[in-house]
Structure 1
Amino acid sequence: MRCHERFVILTGLLCGGLLVFSSWNAAKDDNTPDQFHKVYWRLIKAEQRGEELSSKLVQMLEKLKNLNNTRANQTISNSSRNSLVNSLSNSSAREFLSPLPYALLYLPHLRENYDSLQPRVHLGQQRSGVSLVLGIPTVRRQKQSYLVNTVSSLLYDLTPEQKKDIVIVVFVAETDSAFVKSVAKSIQENFPDDVKSGLVEVISPSPYYYPNLSNLKETFGDSKERVKWRTKQNLDYSYLMLYAQDKGAYYIQLEDDIVAKSGYSESIKEYISNVDNEQWLFLEFSQLGFIGKLFRASDLPSIVEFFLMFHKDKPIDWLLDHILWVKVCNPEKDSKHCNNEKAKLKRTFKPSLFQHVGLHSSLPGKIQNLKDKDFGKQVLYKAHQNPPALLNSSLKHYQSHSLERAYRGEDFLWAFTPSKGDYILISFNTPQNVKRYRFRSGNIEANGDKFYNTTVQVLPSDVSVRERVEQGLLPCCQPSSDGFVVIGSFVNGIAEGPIDEALRDIDAMRLFVHSSSDAWVILSEIFIQV
């Protein structure tokens, strides 16, 4: 038996030697390129890497499960629990990027660091399951940042219901941690409620994500700096798309220097519902470059693979057009046939919903006056039928943008910088039983011109109601020093809400400024519902 085993072993070694020898000879004769051998081992390593990460995710989930199971028997500090949850959400749970073999093939430097594709989530609640994901890449600009105004424009007139079905992902495409933190701080300070709710997220890439971009081949007459800029831009878009793919049903690509048309969210959803059963690769909601291109989230992985495959070669909008060519164009037919076929895979919505406003490009030294001719004019105010009233204000309006015209729904009020003690007084011709109110400051083109530290006050007709407020018997309201009752205040430029029935009929409403501002103010909507 032992001799038989030796015979089998010797036979196996002999066959193996012959196989190696013959393979060596074949390789020698055929001169097979070494590159294929390298690609093979890269794929093997990528597969092994995916298995390692999957194993780690299982381990992390098991730890979390054990943590929950022992909660009744142990006292666990909030910091410990948060540490584990953050570890889960910021590493394994977001490492869906790492096992992708094509990322390692087209960006081989990623193999050198374990977390080279791991996103840094600076702000956000990991919201997912929404209809629409809005992606905004942003970079350091030499002249002026438009990011806050861009996000403000996107949030401007979203209803509470619409806000629940959207995620806005700001991707800070820089590895300078100080700059990334400054952007996150700015977003947090300007949109605290939207960050808290999970509507707005801020992420950045791993410092190991970007390859060496200093030795790129100059093509199409572009300078070295422009080739570097467009190559990095391709990598930025690809990263953001991969991050967004599991957060919602559709993804729309935006930039950090645009404004959105009022009602854009509803317009997009209505258009999608009309064409969703048809065959298309993307929908266009802007005519400029890559702005406003909407994709099904399920298509993003294959699109990103194409972008990464040619990220050094051409700009992103050219690559997108090449995808269409590959899909539908017949080399044996003319360009007219090709263009007709490509048009079937991209649908254009008009008028455009997004307009480019940035003057200074993210490419240093480049000035771009790009405007979408199909964008049309913005609606800068919202009209309502308000009850007859006598209007008075200490604010001085600019040109013809008066309070009277704003109240009648003919224009918006645009006034010089408010100071402490300034007011707008609306005295009704007869006492009004006001049910709700809404005052919106700023507009989609000048969203920074808002009311800050300003309250909404009413003057009840019944003196006894005022006395009850002063005595603290009506929890809905706070007294002022002159008989008016404080019922609300401006938050993120908007003051709105119902008026308590206990206040009964109202003689007047007043907006009162409690501290001086450093910007002009716009009142773009006055709505008093009776």
Structure 2
Amino acid sequence: MRPYSFRFGCLLVVACIASVTWIKSIPSDGGPSVLPDLQTLYERLVVAEELGVQVSSDLSSILEQLRNISKAANITHLHYNTTTTISAETTGWQADYLGQQTLLQPNIYLYMPHLRQHPDSLQPNIVLGQGRHGVSMVLGIPTVKREKQSYLVSTLSSLLYSLTSLQQQDILIIVFVAETDSDYVGSIAETIRKKWRTKQNLDFSFLMLYAQDKGTYYVQLEDDVVAKAGYFNDMKTFATQEHSKQWLYLEFSQLGFIGKMFRARDLPMIAEFFLMFHRDKPIDWLLDHILWVKVCNPEKDAKNCNEQKALQKRRYKPSLFQHVGLHSSLPGKLQHLKDKDFGKQSLFQAHNNPAAELSSSLKHYQQHSLDRAYKGEDFFWAITPVQDDYILFNFTQPIHISRWDRLAAEKQAQGSTDSALLYVFRSGNIETSGDQFHNTTVEVLPSNASSQDRLGTGLSSSYKESDKGFIIIGAFEDGVAEGEIEEGMQPISALRLVVHSDADVWALLSEILVKV
């Protein structure tokens, strides 16, 4: 319709000009009565000519606007289209959030022109999350299907294990499931390795572009690592110390690309460099090449180059992440990589607890006894609990459980005004995070009065009576039981943990704290 309208306007203008020319060529001996009619017709044709010019201009303007709208629509479809509906809540978030986010750089088609024919391949088919932004730290983990064993769950458990609720609010973990239908069957080993490295480079680049606007810092991890307890505070503190200095990345592991922290604002530049040479080198080599391009002077020697590169990468020791995977995502390849600076991982937290007589219906595994765990010498590891199993701490003398100054100081440093914890029972550890207590209560036995009397003296309504005079004061949530004991309940003569349903896995206590 637009070309025909434009042509019609042009024909109208030509007709108007021809008509005016014809009118001016008419002889003047037609008589006085003819002149007024011809004058009126001439004036109308002049107006029509002006209108035709205006219409032509308007049509050109509209055509240009339609072209711009079409381009914008194509870009929107390219960048923000999602193909899978997960749920009403997830879909709503996708519509609101993906419409605002730019995942890709315009230059990406210069390095991978074949993707112009498959624009949807640059978008995630499924996005699950809450659309969080503004955190201090974003952790990026690409993962692929492994033939032998997957380490992803263990990696995530390790990262989440020691985080407090405040730390969980200030960190974002993005898992990129980078699966394709590429068929490596029939290829020689070197060809497979090259394809694998190329795809890995693209996976890292895509993940960086996706995460660039979600936080202040971005940390690259892999799906087969464990984290040292307290890693979040250590990383955040070190990044704050180095904030005012010039650096490209901070190193929290010496292995490959694991544990490298970047400023989020640098991610577009880094990702573009990786895309530019994604077929040529492994990702950690490309990272070193970025440093060379940024700071090395070809007119100076290698020593000067290494000194300048060292200023752009700051190393934190000891390492906070360790590679644990044996089976590589590359079929048939074994990985024996270990970070020597990681040190020995602590599997339990020791405390000085009050003297008590210990007993339990649970059978411990090997040397991991309850007595050793209570003394801070080991963790307690028990074979699968069943309903009514218990752990009992009978104190030699009735005790007052007091506030714990160190925990109070930590909470104040984190901006919390909550009072300190007075008892802590933490199940699972950094290596065996799944062996946790579930549906298990914490109960105390007051020493001076019956539980019924205690419950009737205005204590918290959340307390409930158990058997044998015990009162339920708490329970395990996400593997941890922690809290305070009100003054009106004290002193206490005993404390116990009671299991209320059969478990599917073993149970492990890595921390026992009763502070007096």
- Scaled by the length of structure 2, the TM-score of the pair is 0.76
2:271 aligns to what SS in structure 1? Answer: helix
Matched, 1:466 2:452: yes
Partners of 2:179 and 2:140 lie apart in 1 by 16
Where do residues 50-199 of structure 1 align in structure 2 (5 Å cutoff)? 51-52=72-73, 84-89=92-97, 91-94=98-101, 96-98=102-104, 100-120=105-125, 122-174=127-179
Alignment check: 8 A CA contact 2:184 2:192 kept: no
The structural deviation recorded for 1:80 is 8.1
Partners of 1:415 and 1:84 lie apart in 2 by 45
Deviation larger for 500-509 or 232-241: 500-509
Alignment check: 8 A CA contact 1:442 1:448 kept: yes
Matched, 1:401 2:368: yes
Partners of 1:231 and 1:172 lie apart in 2 by 16
The residue aligned with 1:259 is: 226
The structural deviation recorded for 1:126 is 1.0
Tell me which amino acid in the other structure corresponds to 1:105.
L
The residue aligned with 1:35 is: none
The residue aligned with 1:412 is: 379
The residue aligned with 1:304 is: 271
Alignment check: 8 A CA contact 1:254 1:291 kept: yes
The residue aligned with 2:416 is: none
- Going from structure 1 to structure 2, the CA distance change for 1:418 and 1:213 (only over 3 Å counts) comes to closer
After superposition, the C-alpha distances for 1:184-223 in whole angstroms (9 at most, x for unaligned) are xxxxxxxxxxxxxxxxxxxxxxxxxxxx8989x99xxx71
The structural deviation recorded for 1:400 is 3.1
What percentage of aligned pairs have identical amino acids? Answer: 60
Partners of 1:125 and 1:337 lie apart in 2 by 47
Tell me which amino acid in the other structure corresponds to 1:142.
E
1:430 aligns to what SS in structure 2? Answer: strand
Partners of 1:131 and 1:474 lie apart in 2 by 37
Partners of 1:126 and 1:165 lie apart in 2 by 14
After superposition, the C-alpha distances for 1:439-481 in whole angstroms (9 at most, x for unaligned) are 0011112212222232212222244433665999852123334
Alignment check: 8 A CA contact 2:454 2:489 kept: no
Alignment check: 8 A CA contact 2:451 2:471 kept: no
Alignment check: 8 A CA contact 1:465 1:502 kept: no
Matched, 1:490 2:490: no
Alignment check: 8 A CA contact 1:402 1:412 kept: yes
Q: Which of the numbers 220, 230, 238 marks the counterpart of 1:271?
A: 238
The residue aligned with 1:343 is: 310
Partners of 1:141 and 1:121 lie apart in 2 by 20
Alignment check: 8 A CA contact 1:53 1:92 kept: no
1:93 aligns to what SS in structure 2? Answer: coil
The structural deviation recorded for 1:484 is 2.1
Count of aligned pairs: 428
After superposition, the C-alpha distances for 1:215-242 in whole angstroms (9 at most, x for unaligned) are 9x99xxx711111111111111111111
1:124 aligns to what SS in structure 2? Answer: coil
Tell me which amino acid in the other structure corresponds to 1:350.
K
Tell me which amino acid in the other structure corresponds to 2:95.
S
Matched, 1:283 2:283: no
Tell me which amino acid in the other structure corresponds to 1:168.
I
2:269 aligns to what SS in structure 1? Answer: helix
For the pair shown, the structure with the greater C-alpha radius of gyration is: 2
Alignment check: 8 A CA contact 2:90 2:128 kept: no
The residue aligned with 2:508 is: 522
Deviation larger for 370-379 or 507-516: 507-516
The residue aligned with 1:207 is: none
Q: Which of the numbers 282, 292, 307 marks the counterpart of 1:315?
A: 282
The residue aligned with 1:204 is: none
1:369 aligns to what SS in structure 2? Answer: coil
After superposition, the C-alpha distances for 1:40-94 in whole angstroms (9 at most, x for unaligned) are xxxxxxx99874478899x99xxxxxxxxxxxxxxxxxx98985554222x3123
Matched, 1:507 2:493: yes
Q: Which of the numbers 240, 244, 248 marks the counterpart of 2:207?
A: 240
Tell me which amino acid in the other structure corresponds to 1:482.
K
Alignment check: 8 A CA contact 2:348 2:429 kept: yes
Q: Which of the numbers 319, 327, 330 marks the counterpart of 1:360?
A: 327
- Going from structure 1 to structure 2, the CA distance change for 1:110 and 1:55 (only over 3 Å counts) comes to closer
Tell me which amino acid in the other structure corresponds to 2:483.
G
Partners of 1:125 and 1:86 lie apart in 2 by 9
- Going from structure 1 to structure 2, the CA distance change for 1:51 and 1:359 (only over 3 Å counts) comes to same
1:526 aligns to what SS in structure 2? Answer: strand
- Scaled by the length of structure 1, the TM-score of the pair is 0.74
Partners of 1:262 and 1:339 lie apart in 2 by 32
Partners of 1:449 and 1:253 lie apart in 2 by 28
Matched, 1:227 2:230: no
The structural deviation recorded for 1:363 is 0.8
Where do residues 194-205 of structure 1 align in structure 2 (5 Å cutoff)? none
Tell me which amino acid in the other structure corresponds to 2:124.
P
Alignment check: 8 A CA contact 1:460 1:466 kept: no
After superposition, the C-alpha distances for 1:294-324 in whole angstroms (9 at most, x for unaligned) are 1000000000000011111111111111111
- Going from structure 1 to structure 2, the CA distance change for 1:93 and 1:110 (only over 3 Å counts) comes to farther
Tell me which amino acid in the other structure corresponds to 2:234.
S
The residue aligned with 2:36 is: none
